[in-house]
Structure 1
Amino acid sequence: MSSFAYTEPLRLAQIGVGYWGRNLLRNAAAMPGAEVVAVCDRDEDARDVAGRLAPEARLTGDLDSVLADPSIEAVIVATETPTHASIATRALEAGKHVFVEKPLAQTEAEAEALVALADARDLRLMVGHLLRYHPAYRHVESLVRAGTLGQIRYLYSVRVNLGIVREHESAFDSLAPHDLAIALSLIPGEPVSVSARGHAYLQPGGPEDVVFASVTFEGGEIAHLHCSWLDPHKVRRTTVVGSEQMAVIDDMEAAEPVRVYDKGVGTPASERDGTVPYADALSVRSGDVLVPRIDRAEPLRLEVEEFASAIRQGRAPRSDGREGLAVVRILEAARRSIGAGGAPIDVQRGA
């Protein structure tokens, strides 16, 4: 059952009904306590799809008419990435709460402007960092918050497959926002630098098909990301290494997506007085493997419900504009690092 229910339904509009936009619309149209009243897309075929997913909605190719409708409280933006910032800006200026599919924007400056505008208008701004709502990732986040894994030392993610190849954004820009949002939620402190290398094999001179990137945090923790749409395997896996335990989240394992390993390397208290060489004092612990029960709820449904709940409750959503800005800041620094042959780029200043 939905966690929110109100006398008056939240009146929503969606802009864009492409590959992922169809999934968003399906969930928004089925959400209790909300009503999709308009769907906008320039493509007639896309509007036909929207008509089947949200049969009560008004279908149009005219964005101005949607934003001018005072009865529409909130807008979902699911267009191509280069248009995210401009459409979200117009929606906020029209007084609408805004959900933007990831990434929030293409540049740090655009993302900063969106956050400032939402704050100034007291409107909710949310970005579609889907894994922040995935029950498997939320379970591991709860373990981190409880201290079960101990101090987080590093994490690494592999997000690869064969396709979908995009013309206007790299594999890193397309895939990494998911894992960057998770890294920011699990690792304490701020990211300080990123080093990235990538190559465009399929579209020479165009966006990179494969990227390897390492983000360093202020406490010395590292998040390493491998993103590619030119790979023989479809892999969606994140490994989190803590001082006490380690966790692996595998999106491709529907039945058992999380495994927690009671493994680590420690120094026995009796050997910390320096009387033996440090390496000799280290002890390897290899304990049980726990496979917790994970809720099977659809992450996208939880995501759109969070948007509606945040609006009705007047609070910041779980993946708010500031989180979106933090991810965009790393993406921009990674692009600069790739252009500089992998040189570390300061995340805070982007230079």
Structure 2
Amino acid sequence: MAFKGKEVGVAVIGCGHWGKNLVRNFSELGALVAVVDPREDIAAKFAKDYGVEALSLDEVLASDAISAVVIAVPAELHAKIALDAIAAGKDVYVEKPVALTMEDASAIADAASAADRVLMVGHLLQYHPAFEALLAAVRHGDLGTIQYAYSNRVSTGIFRTEENVLWSLAPHDFSLMLALFDEAPDHVEGTGAGWVTPGIEDEYRVNMTFPSGGRAHIFASWLHPFKEQRLVVVGTKAMAVFEDTHPDKEQKLRLYRHGIDRSTGRPVPVKADAEILPYDMAAEPLAQECQHFLDCCASRANPRTDAKEALAVLQAMIMAGAT
């Protein structure tokens, strides 16, 4: 549904590199009421461009016209702003990661539950129509039992100095892996190294195992010769590839029904041609994610990427960073 009558009034807090995209999407959905940014000139520009108010955070929290806030600020500020917003009676969408510590994340989750507020975390790729189709195929049993999966998220830049590549890029991949295996990992280890900025890892590799026996690994780097966003899932019946950087949208999601011939006493691969898995190529992931948040606010439903999912993702990331 489109919220042209502002049944859910949204303020976006933070109009920076990613926040500007949230501003645009919530405006297009008819829900944007206000923007907040510590840079007054930036806030004024976005307010003028989108025909809304530029407010302070305190004004947003006190406003009866604003029922939900979207937090797109540095991660170290997530906990305080989210807790203040929940205390003010607002539903909350917070960009990934939900917080930097389990203590802060649990406090946000507990506060939202106690206040009966919607809490959603921006694990964007859960709302990508190609991943939705892949996850549906996995849960339908088309791939059989998932044996292992891996994800590459690499590019040349953007180099960050406030966080390493694990925290900047990999939350998406942790979220996808936990969804695919439908459980939290029982063992996580990670290692990385940095060269561009002292003390900041530019590449990170993570290995995970799951209670059901599945395995996964994640490779994230912003010091890489080319851009690649590829997720591979290998099951007992079939294999799938979700390649978001593929230039042909029709080729982004492919299924391979490779088999193994054991008739000679030795395993021999039986290769099959790639099958194109259909998905809604017209749907934009961020628009779908923003719409889902509005739907949950209106219906009081639990978001797909809710507090439980966010805590599981954060716990796995902390385990990876600790090793």
Q: What TM-score bracket applies, with the shorter chain setting the length?
A: over 0.9
Q: Which residue in 1 is equivalent to 2:291?
A: 305
Question: What residue is the counterpart of 2:40 in the other structure?
Answer: 44
2:228 aligned partner: 235
2:308 corresponds to 1:322:
yes
1:30 to partner: Cα distance: 0.5
Offset at 1:49?
A: 4.1
Aligned-pair distance for 1:5?
5.5
**Matches of 2:21 and 2:230 in 1, distance apart?**
22
State the AA in 1 paired with 2:216. A
CA distance in 2, matches of 1:222, 1:23: 34
Shift, 1:301, TM fit: 0.2
Asked whether the 8 Å contact 1:15–1:41 carries over to 2, the reply is yes
Structure 2 matches for 1:171-182, cutoff 5 A? 171-182=165-176
For 1:218, the aligned partner's letter is P
Q: Find the counterpart in structure 2 of residue 295 from structure 1.
A: 280
Query: Any idea what the Cα deviations from partners look like across 1:162-202, whole Å, max 9, x if unmatched?
Result: 11112221101111111111101111333111111101211
Q: 1:152 to 1:267 in 2, by over 3 A?
A: farther
Would you say 1:20 and 2:18 are equivalent positions?
A: yes
* Aligned-partner SS, 1:9: coil
Contact 1:258 1:292 in 2 (8 A): yes
Gaps of 5+ in 1: 269-275, 338-351
- Does structure 1 conserve the Cα–Cα contact (< 8 Å) formed by 2:6 and 2:31? no
2:159 corresponds to: 165
Cα distance in 1 for residues equivalent to 2:286 and 2:48:
19
* Number of equivalences: 320
* Structural mapping, 1:72-221, within 5 Å: 72-204=66-198, 206-221=199-214
What displacement does 1:138 show? 0.7
- 1:257 matches 2:252: yes
Counterpart CA distance in 1 for 2:190 and 2:31 is 43
TM-score normalised according to structure 2 size? 0.94
> Secondary structure at the residue paired with 2:114?
helix
Secondary structure at the counterpart of residue 241 of structure 1: strand
Q: Which moved more, 1:63-72 or 1:125-134?
A: 63-72
The corresponding residue for 1:246 is: 239
TM-align CA RMSD: 1.7
Q: Contact between 1:20 and 1:78, CA under 8 Å: does it hold in 2?
A: yes
Contact 1:26 1:53 in 2 (8 A): no
| Aligned mates of 1:52, 1:23 — CA distance in 2 | 16
Contact 1:261 1:287 in 2 (8 A): yes
Look at both structures and tell me which one has the larger radius of gyration over its CA atoms.
1
* Residue aligning to 2:270: 285
Question: Quick one: structure 1 residues 10 and 194, their matched pair in 2 at CA, closer, same or farther if it must change by over 3 Å?
Answer: same
Q: Distance in 1 between matches of 2:259 and 2:190?
A: 28
Q: Structure 1: which amino acid aligns with 2:37?
A: D
CA distance in 1, matches of 2:85, 2:47: 22
CA distance in 2, matches of 1:8, 1:331: 36
Partner secondary structure for residue 143 of structure 2: coil
% identical aligned pairs: 38
Among 332, 341, 344, which residue is 2:318 paired with? 332
